[in-house]
Amino acid sequence: MKDRTRFTRYDGGDPLAPPVDLAEALDAIGEDVMAGYSPERAMREFLRRGGRDQAGLDDLARRVAERRRELTSRHHLDGTLEEVRELLDHALLEERKQLARDAMMDDADRAFREMQLDAAYPQGGPPSTAAAVSELSSYDWQSREAREDYEKIKDLLGRELLDQRFAGMKQALENATDADRAAVNEMLGDLNELLEKHARGEDTPEDFEEFMGKHGDFFPEQPQNIDELLDSLAQRSAAAQRMLNSMSPEQRQELMELSQQAFGSPELMDQLARMDANLQALRPGEDWGGSERFEGQEGLGLGDGTGVLQDLADLDELGEQLSQSYGGARMDDVDLDKLARQLGDQAAVDARTLQRLEQALRDSGYLKRGTDGQYRLSPKAMRQLGKALLRDVAERMSGRQGQRELQRAGAAGDLSGATRSWAFGDTEPWHVPRTMLNGVLRRAGDRHGPMLSIDDVEVQETEARTQAAVALLVDTSFSMAMDGRWVPMKRTALALHTLIRSRFRGDHLQLIGFGRHAEVMEIEQLTALDARWDKGTNLHHALLLANRHFRKHPNAQPVLLIVTDGEPTSHLEPDGQVYFSYPPHPLTVAYAVRELDAAGRLGAQTTFFRLGDDPGLARFIDQMARRVDGRVIAPELDDLGAAVVGSYLGSRRPGAGAGYGGYGDWFGGRGFWVGD
């Protein structure tokens, strides 16, 4: 028995490549989640778009579609018929030349032969090439070149028909001998017997091994079992049928008539028809009834055309896989071998990277499946997103005054016990044990390195001596979503939440969303909140909840931060019902003012963040802020996070309070302060 061990090219990607970077993916996913997408959909959207240096599914799908259009617009299916016509034209031309120059031939015989040729191939071409080939099958050719060309027609048809079912046969059987053709017929007979035996359930693995041992040279792909053999044969045979379906009725009829001349014997067609019937019965799920429309100028032979139809089927399958639009779709569904075959190795590398990225996102703990079966961002993912947003806020703040408030938080306070890596500009004391330990660990891998490197240094973090009770009130009304302020609002809340949880753990933060009514929200709930289309801005209810939060922490400094783009249009009635009126009802405004005054009596340092340019809103907010000696900031959306975080940090400075300023320069003219 032949050794059929298969060796294939390594396709595992670069073994030295670094692991996939999840930071960019997580940022994009978090942005989409805050815009209202589910984490699963947000991950799918990132995989579709790709990253800065990474092709996405949409790009790969576009290339698949372009490849498909290229194949159908470049080719047509008359290649074999055209080749047969060329051979027939040349044969008749050579034969007529021979008849004209043969002086020894009897004139009557010459006239009879010319009449035979004219009958088979009249002036202007035959009505049917197949009919001409058939009529000339018994003609006694006088020209050796003409006879050879005619025999080439029969040989070509046989090789093309075999090439339709067995890729590479056209080239392999060129200049084949009678023994070679007999071997093909024997293989087809044995193959049909094996297929029919398999259909009856009577075959054994030994039958397959015996067949491959005898005829394995006809199958360079070296199938390992009967199912692999069936799959490859059925896919090719179905493509051949789709090619036939794609031809015009006249082309099909002519091709079927020509096929009877293959190798000069109808036996080949009988065996192939028998094989096709067996394969269709064993693999009915293949596409046997499809067709394609070809509009190009380049003719395709039967074998090449079948290959193109297979390519089109592969491209359709890849298009479906890359769409990821079906239930339970995963990147692992993408056939990398087919992708490399159709679009090149780089496309397969891009798809493999996306597969690794999807798997890493699922395995890293950034996504967790809830009790309802839906994915959600995990606390780990929320922390990572918050850190990224906080870094962005720090860059905006430091870029305007050269300050590094986030790194210097609590520098004048007590040691918190936490440490962090030293960064340029830090003035905190070194944590010597951690610094020395880092040096020892580094030298364990690099004995010739310095005893101590700047990268080894860690500094001690400190906490401010004062505590704050922070209430961040964010408008969740209809206008926030309509005017594109929904995501910046969420990013701001997450940045402030991360800052307090990581740097000011002694502070007490409460997030309050207020639309038609107000509610206290966890950060996960707020970031996943879908846009609300109910009209209403219930600042009264939000201030009630904020004052309750301040009273729960009587020893903390109250800090009230209000983000809104509209005047209050709803309030709570004494019975708990929500009252809505637009334009704002005087009672609604009075209730909001009453609760704001209560916050002022509790000592709250109040900052309004006004979004939008409505003059009426500007006047209202300005008057509200003056009642409690508060401040008004009108930042652009990109600077909202920096404005809120900066106001919070300012409220924690000694002496911060009424009239405190100093952050206006952050906005460089893109925003302004009111009410200092």
pTM: 0.62
Cis peptide before 584 (omega within 30 of 0): no
pLDDT for 444 equals 81
Contacts of 590 (CB under 8 A, 6+ apart): none
Query: What is the C-alpha separation between 221 and 172, in angstroms, rounded?
Result: 15
**Residue 365 backbone zone (phi > 0: left; psi -120 to 50: alpha; other: beta):** left
Confidence band of 518 (pLDDT split at 50, 70, 90): very high
Q: Is the pLDDT of residue 55 over 50?
A: yes
Mutual angle of helices 302-323 and 336-343, in 10-degree steps: 120
Report whether 556 contacts 471 (CB < 8 A). no
Q: Is the pLDDT of residue 546 over 90?
A: yes
pLDDT for 17 equals 55
Question: Average pLDDT in the 603-629 region?
Answer: 91
- 284 or 381, higher pLDDT: 284
For the ranges 53-67, 119-133, 276-290, 476-490, the lowest mean pLDDT is seen at: 119-133
Range of 338-352, 357-371, 420-434 with top mean pLDDT? 338-352
Report whether 49 contacts 56 (CB < 8 A). yes
Strands (E), 382-506: 414-421, 458-463, 468-475
pLDDT for 12 equals 53
Average pLDDT, the chain: 80
Confidence band of 1 (pLDDT split at 50, 70, 90): very low
pLDDT for 193 equals 92
220-247 burial, b at 16+ Cβ within 10 Å, e below that, comes to: eeebeebeebbbebbbbbbbbbbbbebb
pLDDT for 606 equals 92
Q: Is the pLDDT of residue 18 over 60?
A: no
Query: What is the C-alpha separation between 372 and 124, in angstroms, rounded?
Result: 75
pLDDT for 395 equals 67
User: In degrees to the nearest 10, what's the CA dihedral of 422, 425, 431, 434?
Assistant: 10
DSSP label at 218? G
Among 523, 467, 518, smallest CA distance to 495 is for 523
Percentage of the chain lying above the pLDDT 90 cut: 22
Confidence band of 62 (pLDDT split at 50, 70, 90): very high
CA distances to 412, 504, 510, 529 from 465, in Å: 8, 10, 20, 35
Instruction: Give the SS3 label for residue 663.
Output: coil
End-to-end, the C-alpha distance of the chain in Å comes to 93
Confidence band of 374 (pLDDT split at 50, 70, 90): low
Q: Is the pLDDT of residue 621 over 80?
A: yes
Among 379, 353, 357, smallest CA distance to 368 is for 379
Query: What is the C-alpha separation between 291 and 246, in angstroms, rounded?
Result: 5
Q: List phi, psi (to 5°) of 451.
A: -65, -35
Q: How many CA atoms lie within 13 A of 109 on its CB side?
A: 11
For the ranges 36-45, 135-144, 432-441, the lowest mean pLDDT is seen at: 36-45
Among 531, 414, 555, smallest CA distance to 478 is for 531
**Residue 130 backbone zone (phi > 0: left; psi -120 to 50: alpha; other: beta):** alpha
Question: Average pLDDT in the 427-446 region?
Answer: 84
pLDDT for 411 equals 41
Amino acid identity for residue 602 in this structure: L
Contacts of 252 (CB under 8 A, 6+ apart): 244
Confidence band of 35 (pLDDT split at 50, 70, 90): low
- 176 or 464, higher pLDDT: 176
Q: Is the pLDDT of residue 401 over 60?
A: no
Over the stretch 191-229, which tens digit does the pLDDT of each residue have? Answer: 999 999 999 999 899 999 999 999 888 888 888 999 999
Query: What is the C-alpha separation between 241 and 274, in angstroms, rounded?
Result: 14
Query: What is the C-alpha separation between 491 and 389, in angstroms, rounded?
Result: 7
Question: Average pLDDT in the 390-410 region?
Answer: 51
